[in-house]
Chain A
């Protein structure tokens, strides 16, 4: 009933098969295919072996056991943070691999010698020795690299643009795909959601396998049910006009306060960064003081990111929301606005001020800034973990016992991850090996957070709608994050003038000119006319994009109308179900009544006959309607 039955003979041959699979794994793909083809077995068995091979590799899934333990103790909500972290890690691994293979390795062939000395300070500031390494854009050559005189050549300019471009296109498609898959799985009809019945029957988390965690979850559930019943019993309070106005004024004031804080933070970052640039341009001393001055901007940015959210949570408590879920959403929104504005102001500074400055190699400067930001963010993440969870637990269990053990703040941690990933994505163009650094950083963060979670935190008390929030966070990763990064890269490639003396695009009027020049050279090759045709008529013509956009808009509108139609249909059908069942019970009632009527309307006629002796005998019993007995 469930799958295929050959499992019996499969288990029989399992020992031999395990050995076979072990042998097959160590071969290369071609040898493997040949070996499988040579085996004298049926097609079915071969298909199964091939399946099991792919699953063997799937088994090497990273951290499978760890995720199971975390889910078992803390539930699906906290687990979703770690799954998200693992997913972001794959983006970085992929980017590092392709950047390293296509950009860094060819550069080794044409590398210039590095004359600077290495002091340990470079690891933090990213300047100094690292400036003349493959870490930054400035080191890459603009030449066409070729090993032999007339051998195959490797055009560094094209490689740089295409590698980064193709990586972002793949990221875009994979994000859109995950987002739509998640949205489709987790879409709920908002008007029908009220939560009580589902809370009872659908939220027991079968993932939890730890005895203490199960007891805690049961206690939380009973508290929630009691609260829900209490709310139902209370009457809906009708606020007077005065109280409502006061509430609105408080809400407005908190929004003004939070937006004002964000604006002040951005202004601070902006002035600090301009100051930073002036400092850098004025003196190029390599002493400790100027090195330390370079770190002020990242430290201030990370401090703002770490402490302003506490202020926002405090504002949220002050506002006294009627629905506690609204408090969480509002706080998350304010944090998002803060982070977007900080990243936005930094991008503005990099693209408008640094790019137009008279420095020798502005792209490397930007790359160094981003390197420092990423590194300091990582350090602050570890520090935040230490103070926010470890020290807080010690305080909560010894000094202020009423505070209790801390909970793992899922929203805040996920937003930090998205911020770090956004910075990395911006930095890929200016520092191709940055994803490698972020890869290491995410792995360390995973282990540190896991250890801290096990040691210091308790499972969350409130229900965290993991599925919905994951969809929301993937959407956040897509919309402000990736789309913003793509716009920044687009502006860099199309509008900004690359520096004259460093990098793969030195001397060109814009980075995009590399592609236009390449298309020009392609015109001389007779076999590549189709590429030139595609470029001129599809990428460069505005009419094509206009037609494409109009088509897409029409299709979107059609799908939207289909969805609206289906919603109406669902409403109608639901009403019909209720009507049918009501009609059916009504009919049952009426039918019963009808049967009663029938019975009472019938007369039972018992016929007797008298025989010759005068004895009475029963002849027949029949039912007849009352109409035969007009009374």
Chain B
């Protein structure tokens, strides 16, 4: 899942650490020896119970975006992908691409108004009334939609990221 070409090579010890974290989730399922490329997939419940993810309102979407089957069940490859994109070494474009996919709930390559409404509800824990949510989403689309098609494409999103310099430091999970 994800065919974005990366241009960075993080360091080896980072991946070793990640491998041990992955194995700690289910030591009886994950072998130490990966030479014969075993086909091991950890279910979403285990991934979502990690301390770094368990309180994040977007944990389900993150797991779905990075998992191969789209359901949140991750192989080692997916797990390593996820934490390398969320590390501080990943370049801005890569992070923007995956953030866009996370917020695109219906996977149609556009963040439409319903996606935005779901995002706002997750961000505010359903505390806003539906009218307020709708108003907020309208404002966002007005502001960020450059090609005037009523929804945000990846280019619109990337353009918005340029105007948010904190994005690189907030779209980051330390492990």
Tier of interface size on chain B: 35 or more
A222 within 8 A of B: yes
In the complex, the answer to whether A201 meets B15 with C-beta atoms within 8 Å is no
Which of A3, A210, A214, A228 meets B10, CB within 8 Å? A3
Q: Which of A133-141, A352-360, A460-468, A487-495 has 4 or more CB atoms under 8 Å from chain B?
A: A460-468
Contacts A189-B163, A205-B170, A578-B147: A222 and B6 contacting too (C-beta < 8 A)? Answer: no
B26 within 8 A of A: no
B42 within 8 A of A: no
A37 within 8 A of B: no
Residues in B neighbouring A14, C-beta threshold 8 A: 16, 19, 32
In the complex, the answer to whether B166 meets A467 with C-beta atoms within 8 Å is yes
A186 within 8 A of B: yes
Measuring CB to CB, which residues of chain A are less than 8 angstroms from any residue of chain B?
Answer: 1-4, 7-12, 14-15, 48, 51-52, 55-56, 58-59, 67-68, 71-72, 76, 185-189, 192-194, 196-198, 200-211, 214-215, 218-219, 221-222, 225-226, 228-229, 232, 465-468, 574, 577-578, 580-582, 585
In the complex, the answer to whether B164 meets A200 with C-beta atoms within 8 Å is no
Residues in A neighbouring B3, C-beta threshold 8 A: 1
Q: Shortest beta-carbon distance, B156 to chain A, in Å? A: 9
Count contacts between A and B, CB distance < 8 Å: 192
In the complex, the answer to whether A3 meets B9 with C-beta atoms within 8 Å is yes
In the complex, the answer to whether B80 meets A193 with C-beta atoms within 8 Å is no
Which of A15, A186, A232, A574 meets B139, CB within 8 Å? A232
Measuring CB to CB, which residues of chain B are less than 8 angstroms from any residue of chain A?
Answer: 2-6, 9-16, 19, 32-35, 37, 51-58, 80-81, 84, 86, 99, 103, 116, 119-120, 123-125, 127-128, 132, 135-136, 139-140, 143-144, 146-149, 157, 160-174
Residues in B neighbouring A582, C-beta threshold 8 A: 148
Residues in B neighbouring A194, C-beta threshold 8 A: 143
Question: Whole-angstrom distance between the alpha carbons of A202 and B140 in the complex?
Answer: 12
Among residues of A, the one whose C-beta sits closest to the C-beta of B146 is A577
Contacts A581-B148, A582-B148: A198 and B35 contacting too (C-beta < 8 A)? Answer: no
Q: Shortest beta-carbon distance, A71 to chain B, in Å? A: 7
Question: Whole-angstrom distance between the alpha carbons of A570 and B50 in the complex?
Answer: 43
Contacts A198-B160, A222-B127: A185 and B81 contacting too (C-beta < 8 A)? Answer: no
Residues in A neighbouring B144, C-beta threshold 8 A: 197, 201
Question: Whole-angstrom distance between the alpha carbons of A214 and B15 in the complex?
Answer: 28
Q: Shortest beta-carbon distance, A284 to chain B, in Å? A: 55
Contacts A202-B170, A219-B125: A214 and B6 contacting too (C-beta < 8 A)? Answer: no
Residues in B neighbouring A468, C-beta threshold 8 A: 165-166
In the complex, the answer to whether B57 meets A218 with C-beta atoms within 8 Å is yes
In the complex, the answer to whether B119 meets A201 with C-beta atoms within 8 Å is yes
Residues in B neighbouring A215, C-beta threshold 8 A: 125
Q: Shortest beta-carbon distance, A50 to chain B, in Å? A: 10
Question: Whole-angstrom distance between the alpha carbons of A193 and B14 in the complex?
Answer: 36
Which of B52, B86, B124, B157 meets A218, CB within 8 Å? B124
In the complex, the answer to whether B170 meets A207 with C-beta atoms within 8 Å is yes
In the complex, the answer to whether B168 meets A185 with C-beta atoms within 8 Å is yes
Among residues of A, the one whose C-beta sits closest to the C-beta of B140 is A197
Contacts A198-B163, A198-B164: A2 and B13 contacting too (C-beta < 8 A)? Answer: no
Question: Whole-angstrom distance between the alpha carbons of A14 and B20 in the complex?
Answer: 11
In the complex, the answer to whether A12 meets B35 with C-beta atoms within 8 Å is yes
In the complex, the answer to whether B127 meets A202 with C-beta atoms within 8 Å is no
Residues in B neighbouring A11, C-beta threshold 8 A: 16, 19, 32-34
Question: Whole-angstrom distance between the alpha carbons of A202 and B9 in the complex?
Answer: 25
Q: Shortest beta-carbon distance, B163 to chain A, in Å? A: 5
Question: Whole-angstrom distance between the alpha carbons of A368 and B146 in the complex?
Answer: 62
In the complex, the answer to whether B136 meets A8 with C-beta atoms within 8 Å is no
Question: Whole-angstrom distance between the alpha carbons of A438 and B170 in the complex?
Answer: 31
In the complex, the answer to whether A2 meets B81 with C-beta atoms within 8 Å is yes
Question: Whole-angstrom distance between the alpha carbons of A194 and B99 in the complex?
Answer: 21
Question: Whole-angstrom distance between the alpha carbons of A206 and B123 in the complex?
Answer: 12
Contacts A9-B35, A222-B128, A225-B128: A200 and B173 contacting too (C-beta < 8 A)? Answer: no
Question: Whole-angstrom distance between the alpha carbons of A192 and B146 in the complex?
Answer: 13
Residues in A neighbouring B119, C-beta threshold 8 A: 200-201
Contacts A2-B6, A200-B123, A578-B146: A206 and B163 contacting too (C-beta < 8 A)? Answer: no
In the complex, the answer to whether A209 meets B51 with C-beta atoms within 8 Å is yes
Question: Whole-angstrom distance between the alpha carbons of A225 and B127 in the complex?
Answer: 11
In the complex, the answer to whether B136 meets A200 with C-beta atoms within 8 Å is yes
Contacts A52-B13, A188-B165, A201-B157: A8 and B35 contacting too (C-beta < 8 A)? Answer: yes
Q: Shortest beta-carbon distance, A249 to chain B, in Å? A: 36
Q: Shortest beta-carbon distance, A592 to chain B, in Å? A: 16
Per CB-CB distance, the 10 closest pairs between chain A and chain B, nearest first, are A581-B147, A222-B124, A186-B165, A202-B164, A198-B164, A55-B13, A467-B165, A197-B144, A218-B125, A222-B127
Which of B81, B132, B170 meets A204, CB within 8 Å? B170
Contacts A8-B37, A200-B123, A219-B125: A185 and B12 contacting too (C-beta < 8 A)? Answer: no
Residues in B neighbouring A201, C-beta threshold 8 A: 99, 103, 119, 140, 144, 157, 160
In the complex, the answer to whether B165 meets A56 with C-beta atoms within 8 Å is no
Contacts A12-B34, A55-B12, A225-B120: A197 and B103 contacting too (C-beta < 8 A)? Answer: no
Q: List 25 A-B contacts (CB under 8 A).
A: A1-B81, A2-B80, A2-B81, A3-B10, A3-B84, A4-B9, A14-B16, A51-B11, A188-B162, A188-B163, A189-B163, A197-B160, A198-B160, A198-B161, A200-B120, A204-B57, A206-B172, A207-B170, A208-B55, A218-B123, A218-B125, A225-B120, A225-B132, A232-B139, A465-B166
Residues in B neighbouring A200, C-beta threshold 8 A: 116, 119-120, 123, 136, 140
